[in-house]
Structure 1
Amino acid sequence: MSRPHPAALAAWLLLVVAAATALLVGLLGPGGQTGERLADAGAVATGTAYAWGLAARTGGRPVIFGGLAVVLGLAVVGVDDNTLRSGAAVVTAVLTAVLAVMVTVPAASLWVTVRETLVALLVSALGAMATLAWSPAVDLHRFEYTVLALALVASVVTVYRLGAGLHGLGSRGMVTVVAGSIMLVLTVGYAELLQRYGTHSLVEALDDSVRWSHHHLGAFPRPIIALLGVPALTWGTHMRARRRQGWWICAFGIGVSAPVAYCLVDPGRSVREVALATGYGWLIGLLLGFALIRIDLWLTSPSGRRGRRHAPEEESSQPRPEPGRTHALW
């Protein structure tokens, strides 16, 4: 593992702050040509910082990938083509989703798991502004599915290296990955599944609950965030404090980071509605994540009835502490 030079880390943080400032002023300011230029500059800076950070975190070559991000970003701005801007938005959203998961650290307590989910949300929120700043002209559903698919593939490939391959999963880990995959499909396609296979009364009841939530609460929680992304990140970071298999669970944390990364692209939703929907999903997801942690501890803790059988196996598979947040993972 390698630790970044303090000057390089300070420069990276300064770039992130500058990108966030340019995006806020460009997107929320008076607009016009100056606002557009600031938004473009913020998008390029964010993509550069995230490409650099992800490469450094995963043991790659940050200078090469960061420089490539700068060149491609400036080329997109210079050509100013809708297709290129849409492609840049996809790449930015995918980078955001994967980095938000990779930047987390193991959480030995419940309060630390809360902190790690907030870190992932913060990284995703900046990426969401950068994605919007590219002004992509896309089919919304196709854009969302593309980002989710690419982010999941990139996350799994990265975790495959961290988890030392599939043989490090174990039977419980394999069941978890399969369950996570099924939950991803269900949360992404739940609306289509309800329309095709749900009864009329069930669809009406769910529609009424959505309308009630919008009317009284201002938004309806995003199912993929509440039922998959936040629980996976909560449980996964907690498990990583004891077992390396927790990385395989964290891979499904893109269920929260990817939807946040592209949440502002939908013109039919206000920033307030997006923020409320994400916040409600985060709260529900934390409760589910805490329940999963309690069940996992009951099954594996030496003090538990089931855990006494598996205690030697769990203790022997304990990994060494992970590198810090600003260190390379391998």
Structure 2
Amino acid sequence: MSRATKGGRRRLDASIPPEYDLPTREPRLDSPRAARFVMVLVFIGWLAGTAGAATSIIAVDTPSWIVRPSAALLMVVFAIGLTHRGGGHMRIWLPMTAALGALAVTLETNVLLASAAAVTAVLASVWAVLVTRPVATLWGAIREYAFALLVALSGTLGVAAWNAPVNYQRFNLIVLTVSLGLAITLVWNLGAGLHGLGRQNLAILLGVAALVMVVIAYSSFVRTHGSQSLVQAFTDMVIWTRRTFHGAPRPIEVLIGFPALIVGVSLRSKRREGWWILVFAVIGTAVLTTSLVSPGAYPKYIGLSTLYSAVLGLIVGLVLRRQFLKEPSSRAARAIAPVVRVEPPRFAALK
């Protein structure tokens, strides 16, 4: 992979094509034609489920009974995508997810509807991050950013279509906790565990984790123990933002979740430890997928808030990307053509 020239510096040898640094499972289908056919069916199911679920928030002349079956179809599609991408056992997770969707659509009990909505949110938020590709260019990072948000938004529609009677704060906390746990479990192998992190990457990871804790703890403290004047100032600012812009960006998405998505997909093009940054991107996608779970939520307000969060999060992410992806000058002087890390295609198994 490297060679030393006589009397010169040690230089990278880019003549050897890079290989994926993890073993992957055998293809689930032996025939490439059958695999493509199944992929097309899943894509059609995603389109149909998203379109049907969108009728829950958009006034169109369609039968009301298609809403929850569309949400169930989306949940199954997310389960297929995440299980396949993460190298899981399709024969276990797919029947379980399909059974939950069928029972929720048929019986319509509060517990089943809430469970189906939570599973939809978790699967969509994690799959939205795992389906991204490593990119080394600026425009590539923006493309992956938009693609991940598109998948997460379809999950938002799926959650809204269930119309589950839940407490928003509790539901959001459960989805966020389970999504982070699932993401860490999947990333543990993809990111070579914590021991695979270098000193700089570990510092970045700990810094982001500390920022998450500070934001959550501070927001909770202000709501419960903050002075009346401080709480009123925040309330007035939110009200002014809502009246002026008809929406308000969500800080946890702008400062943590969405920037981590930009930095993570870029860092993955060089080192597999970039997966650890993407764990925090799940925070952003999880908050996004649960934004319409409350039946009283206004779709226009949530849509504009998401747009503002996406734009501001993109700006913050690009600034951080520029800062964190700078090559050390000594290494830049030694390298001729740094080898770009490769991964399987977007819809192939990662392990």
Q: Give the TM-score of the pair, scaled to structure 1.
A: 0.89
Tell me if 1:308 matches 2:297. Answer: no
Question: Pairwise mapping of residues 281-296 of structure 1 onto structure 2 (< 5 A)?
Answer: 281-296=309-324
CA contact (8 A) 2:271 2:341 kept: no
CA shift at 1:201, angstroms? 5.2
Aligned residue for 1:328?
Answer: 349
CA contact (8 A) 1:94 1:258 kept: yes
Question: Pairwise mapping of residues 22-171 of structure 1 onto structure 2 (< 5 A)?
Answer: 22-25=52-55, 27-29=57-59, 34-35=63-64, 37-171=65-199
CA contact (8 A) 2:103 2:112 kept: no
Aligned residue for 1:304?
Answer: none
Aligned residue for 1:279?
Answer: 307
Question: Residue deviations 1:17-39, cap 9 Å, x none?
Answer: 1212222345535689x41x211
CA distance in 2, matches of 1:100, 1:137: 25
CA shift at 1:328, angstroms? 0.9
CA contact (8 A) 1:26 1:38 kept: no
Question: Residue deviations 1:247-282, cap 9 Å, x none?
Answer: 100111112211111111134431111111111111
Question: Pairwise mapping of residues 245-264 of structure 1 onto structure 2 (< 5 A)?
Answer: 245-264=273-292
CA distance in 1, matches of 2:311, 2:61: 34
CA shift at 1:67, angstroms? 2.9
CA distance in 2, matches of 1:79, 1:196: 39
CA distance in 2, matches of 1:313, 1:69: 51
CA shift in 2, pair 1:244/1:311, >3 Å: farther
Tell me if 1:206 matches 2:227. Answer: no
SS at match of 1:186: helix
Query: Can you give the 5+ residue segments of structure 2 that lack an aligned partner in the other structure?
Result: 1-23
Query: Can you give the 5+ residue segments of structure 1 that lack an aligned partner in the other structure?
Result: 302-306
SS at match of 1:263: coil
CA shift in 2, pair 1:63/1:218, >3 Å: same
After the TM superposition, which of the residue ranges 220-229 and 108-117 deviates more from structure 2?
108-117
Which structure's relative contact order is higher, taking Cα pairs within 8 Å and 6+ residues apart?
2
CA shift in 2, pair 1:204/1:88, >3 Å: same
Tell me if 1:14 matches 2:35. Answer: no
The counterpart of 2:250, out of the listed 222, 229, 246, is 222
CA distance in 1, matches of 2:149, 2:335: 31
Question: Residue deviations 1:187-231, cap 9 Å, x none?
Answer: 344432224565555444433332221121111110111001111
Matched positions, count: 321
Q: Percent identity?
A: 32
Q: Give the TM-score of the pair, scaled to structure 2.
A: 0.84
SS at match of 2:325: helix
CA contact (8 A) 1:131 1:261 kept: yes
CA distance in 2, matches of 1:240, 1:9: 25
Alpha-carbon RMSD: 2.6
CA contact (8 A) 2:57 2:299 kept: no
Q: Which AA in structure 2 matches 1:13?
A: F
The counterpart of 2:221, out of the listed 182, 188, 193, is 193
CA shift in 2, pair 1:314/1:144, >3 Å: farther
Greater share of helix residues, 1 or 2? 1
Q: Which AA in structure 2 matches 1:65?
A: W
**Highest Rg: 1 or 2?**
2
CA distance in 1, matches of 2:339, 2:180: 26
After the TM superposition, which of the residue ranges 134-143 and 193-202 deviates more from structure 2?
193-202
CA shift in 2, pair 1:100/1:240, >3 Å: same
CA distance in 1, matches of 2:205, 2:44: 37
CA shift at 1:296, angstroms? 1.4
CA shift in 2, pair 1:38/1:308, >3 Å: same
Tell me if 1:243 matches 2:271. Answer: yes
CA distance in 2, matches of 1:255, 1:199: 28
CA distance in 1, matches of 2:119, 2:163: 13
CA shift at 1:125, angstroms? 1.1
CA shift in 2, pair 1:199/1:216, >3 Å: same
CA shift at 1:108, angstroms? 1.1
